[in-house]
Structure 1
Amino acid sequence: MVEKAESIDDVRRIIEDNDIEFIFASFGEVRGKSNAKLVPASQVDDLFSEGVGFAGFAAGEIGQGPHSPDIELVPDPASFRVVPWQPGLAHVIGDARVEGDAWPYCPRHILRQQVERARGLGLDFRIGFEAEFMLVDRDESGRLVIADRQDNWPKPCYDVKGLTRQYDFVTQLSRYVSELGWENYAVDHEDGNGQFECNVTFADALETADRAVFFRYMVETVAQQHGMLATFMPKPFTDNTGNGFHYTMSLWDRETETNLFADPNDSRGLGLSELGYRFAAGILDHARGYAALVAPTVNSYKRLKAGTDAVRTWVPVSMTYGGNNRTQMLRVARQGAIEDRTPDFSGSPYLGFAAALAAGLDGIERRLEIGEPNTANLYEFSPGQLRRQGLGVLPNSLIEAVHYLEKDDVFREAFGKVPTDGPDGSPGGGFEDFVDYYARLKQDEFHAINDVVTAHEVDRYLQFP
């Protein structure tokens, strides 16, 4: 029986019942990196009352310099979990604070603000994820390769032999997911060589984001125990399918526990309510700037390319929706749920979920119309053909997505303002939009990679024409 904590008293009981000796106390920074300190369980009262300190500048991108006061991690009891593979260890996630106040740069705080906004409207935002990953290794020359050298079928999706060869890994992972109470209902070999996916049920958005962070940590750890490396990188191989992090979203009535996206009498035949269509319309309306938050790296846009016979991608290239059609950005494959196939797991799930909710609520508030579902195989259309049909195309690069994000006032309001230093570097200089801070990080990231001359460029252009 999985014990779910709601208070510090519950945490104490779980510690005692499971002989917990140590706790990883964790928080995430803006790029999605998880940071933790190992805290003896004997210090649990101080951990939850006073938090634990981190040098924010050293921890990553969270709006701090080396002169800034400490980040204080304040754990959330609801995120407290017994680590399945390590007896005596637990894990807890929390929000970052500075000098006792909520820190506006904290991705978890940003999502919490959007969740509270929805709750003020009587709505619960619930979301599930499908996180694809690859099991890889390096060969004798240091080249990245698929860990299972026999996993080389041209179409390996659902391959029973590939699952069998990794049976110990996938069953251990499935067992741990079930022990965590996430109701694992399937593990499968995905479309890429060496690619797998473990499906879990949906939950409240904040809970699901915490689950996603722990899931990534768990998959990587279990893979290492089996002598492999697990990667969620969007596109680790040019000639192999990329890794996605699909969101499946719905809004629920807080009082009646009713799925407000479900409508069995939907005239379009997708089982989606008018509220659901407006939510979807909001995401499509903000799709270009939204991409910067859910496909947040240079590598992300090497995944977001239409497939060919040689390389399948299973990703969207245009801002469309449809039924059970995997070439659409938004897919309605079952009643009352919207799947977004754009995201990958190279950033913070808290920021991605917050962006989805903000865009969807904007669609509802503005009563946006979405039009009829698209039924075409969109991989058969060139970008020019898509535009001629009036279908918007997703950004081709991170820098393009950031350009649209900077112009999006809905995201500016949703993500709020953050404090800045004065001209002399002293605290209290003023405020700026979080979006501007995030945009600078991503512009720097783009140029750090794009401005480097590669061996491929030298081979192609050294004596060209």
Structure 2
Amino acid sequence: MPYKVSHGKAIQIKYSPDEVFSKIQHEDIKFVDLQFTSLMGRFHHTTISANTFTPEQMQDGLPKLDGSSIVGFTSIDDSDLILKPDPNTYAVIPWMTENKTARLLCDVYWGEDRGRLSRDPRGIAQNAEAYLKTQGYDYSAWGPEVEFFVFDKIHWDVLTPYKGQSYSIESVEAPWSQEGTGYPMGLQEGYYPSTPSDTLTPFRNECVNVLNENFGILCDNHHHEVATAGQCEIDIRYDYLTNAADATQSYKFIIRNIAKKFGKVATMMPKPISMDSGSGMHSNVSLWKDKKNIFFDADEEDELSQAGRYFCGGILEHARALCAITNPTTNSYHRLVPGYEAPVYIAWSGSNRSAIVRIPKHFKGAGYSYLKRLEYRAPDPSANPYLVFSAVLAAGLDGLKKKKEPGDQVKEDIFKMTKAERIKRGIGVLPANLGEALDELESDRKFLTPIFTNDVIDKIIELERRDHKEISIRPHPHEFYLYFDV
């Protein structure tokens, strides 16, 4: 999947179906992995023999999917689905060496020529790009910053709920490790440490090589993140919306498999470690028209245009409802608390990282106009990137349509403000838990409907309500410490 780079952005060079079949033959591919994403963001696959794969199947799709067995897709009484491979996503999976395997991402369709499955997240992302053009813009560019943890081992006991539940994390970097390097990282002391404290540089190097060379996902920078015990970040170059979501899903797939090769385990869980920073998926966005970034205006403060302000205003207006999509797990809300670098307060600013929307200020001037963007800091990596980018785009476009001003920048550290000071400044707060976020989405969903069908929104709410209930009916181990002697 080759790319060229224009103004720092990865532009995908498209493969034709004929070129894919030629590569399968000349690269001696034995199997083709057909990959797709469920509504809630899980990556799935089925594998076919390369010598049975035909041009007709590339064109018409393969009848390989029971939609009722994929959470969120279909009911059991109407479940025949088609996987249509996208030739532009061809890549050879480098760790499958014994039987050489290539992958193709797939779009999901109903059988019997009934059209696209509305709950296919990739289809929602493509709808978002099409809707953007109807609003007079050419494209949006997205650059996700995906954080994750890499542990040596993880143990949990949840299968005996009447006995009690527990988990434990092993990491040579952690201050609680019994077999560490001798240079442990304290809680919230893991940002940019040098080796030997940072034990995961070789792991991240290999991940970047695979992302760049095998999958065509351009990554430039990687580093250890703030938390102890193996928190990492690998930066993805920005791209068109669907491409960026494809890259994020592939990124997660690659990270997990390279971790397995290193004898470790990677997780995108937002908050696995108590009393330490969680993992985010800051999402950078800009809008383009006539080959110009319309968020850039050299004459405005922070060089953010009026269009950029309106887009920001839309995000802030719908931030609470967005949480049900950008922070879709009960664990997400353990990250969204003050004191651990995650944004909690609904405000915007320049370099101030306590605001939920940030306007990065590293460079100035027309020569860097292509970098002018909004960084939405709420999302976390448990979210489905196809849905995140589509929902944030919908919120921003709603702000543009309504000419929604975001209010004044907040340049002070919001974490240090009192509640009264925040109320005086009109600074809202994100939902405290998933149930509250779903209530917000139920009452504020109209901004999504140009891109999301109500059927999709209803299903998201239904599935996340189920998860919220799963946790709410179970006692937490720490509650025994707090309340056993009441």
For the criterion TM > 0.5, the same-fold answer is yes
The equivalent residue for 1:31 is 40
Contact 1:73 1:97 in 2 (8 A): yes
Q: Indicate the SS of the match to 1:329.
A: strand
- Structure 1 counterpart SS, 2:406: coil
- Deviation for aligned residue 1:454: 2.4
- 2:358 touches 2:377 (CA, 8 Å); kept in 1? yes
Change (3 A) 1:33 1:167: same
Q: Is the 8 A contact 1:132 1:196 kept in 2?
A: yes
- 2-structure distance, mates of 1:94, 1:368: 37
Cα separation, 2, equivalents of 1:265 and 1:319: 26
Equivalent residue in structure 2 for 1:78, among 78, 88, 94? 88
Distance 1:162 1:372, change over 3 A: farther
- TM superposition shift of 1:383: 4.4
Q: Does the CA-based 8 Å contact 1:387-1:393 persist in structure 2?
A: no
Contact 1:15/1:41 (8 A) holds in 2: yes
Residue 191 of structure 1: aligned partner:
226
User: What SS is found at the alignment partner of 1:72?
Assistant: strand
Contact 1:163 1:189 in 2 (8 A): no
1:435 to 429, 449, 457: 457
Q: TM-score with structure 1 length normalisation?
A: 0.89
Q: 1:96 aligns with which of 90, 99, 108?
A: 108
1:162 Cα deviation from its structure 2 partner: 5.1
For residue 455 of structure 2, what is the amino acid of its counterpart?
D
Distance 1:46 1:454 in 2: 53
Q: In structure 1, the residue corresponding to 2:257 is in which secondary structure?
A: helix
Are the counterparts in 1 of residues 322 and 391 from structure 2 also a CA contact under 8 Å?
yes
CA distance in 2, matches of 1:442, 1:370: 29
Give the superposition deviation at 1:387: 2.4
1:239 aligns with 2:275: yes
Q: Per the alignment, do residues 26 and 338 of structure 1 end up closer, same or farther by CA in structure 2, a change over 3 Å counting? A: same
Give the equivalent residue in structure 1 for 2:125.
111
- Aligned partners of 1:415, 1:147: CA distance in 2, in Å? 45
Q: Which amino acid aligns with 2:75?
A: G
Structure 1 residue 165 corresponds to structure 2 residue 179: no
Aligned to 1:420: none
Q: Over residues 188-224 of structure 1, what are the superposed CA-to-partner deviations in whole Å (9 max), with x where a residue is unaligned?
A: 1110111111112100000010010000000000001
Deviation at 1:139, TM superposition (A): 6.9
Pairing 1:135–2:150 present:
yes
Quick one: percent identity of the two aligned structures?
Answer: 28
1-side partners of 2:279 and 2:233: how far apart?
Answer: 9
Structure 2 counterpart of 1:373: 409
| CA displacement, residues 36-94 of structure 1 (integer Å, 9 cap, x when unaligned) | 101222214243123232111212222x2222232211122222222243342222112
Structure 1 contact 279–361 (Cα < 8 Å) conserved: yes
Q: Tell me the alpha carbon deviations over residues 323-358 of structure 1, each in whole angstroms, 9 at most, x when there is no partner.
A: 012111011114511111100011211111110110
2:334 matched residue in structure 1: 302
Determine helix, strand or coil for the equivalent of 1:92: strand
Paired position in structure 2 for 1:429: none
Flag structure 2 segments of 5+ consecutive residues without an equivalent.
4-12, 157-166, 174-179, 362-370
Distance change (3 Å), C-alpha of 1:294 and 1:140: closer
Give the match for residue 292 of structure 1. Answer: 324
Q: TM-score, normalised by structure 2?
A: 0.86
1:175 and 1:184 map into 2 onto residues whose CA distance is 9
Residues 96-116 of structure 1 deviation map (CA, whole Å, 9 limit, x = unaligned): 111231111111111211110
In structure 1, distance between residues paired with 2:36 and 2:76: 19
1:44 to 1:215, Cα distance in 2 relative to 1, 3 A: farther
CA RMSD in angstroms, aligned pairs only: 2.0
Matched, 1:144 2:169: yes
- Paired residues, what number? 440
Deviates more, 1:442-451 or 1:382-391: 382-391
Counterpart amino acid of 1:125?
S
User: Alignment partner of 2:292: what SS?
Assistant: coil
Residue 83 of structure 2: SS of its match in structure 1? strand
CA distance in 2, matches of 1:23, 1:145: 35
2-side partners of 1:340 and 1:18: how far apart?
41
Q: State the shift of 1:140 in Å.
A: 8.7
Q: 2:30 aligns with which of 21, 24, 28?
A: 21
Letter matched to residue 68 of structure 1:
D
CA deviation digits over 1:249-280, x for unaligned, max 9? 00111xx32211122221x2x12111111111
Match of 1:153 in 2: 186
Q: CA deviation at 1:178?
A: 2.1
Secondary structure of 1:372's aligned partner: coil
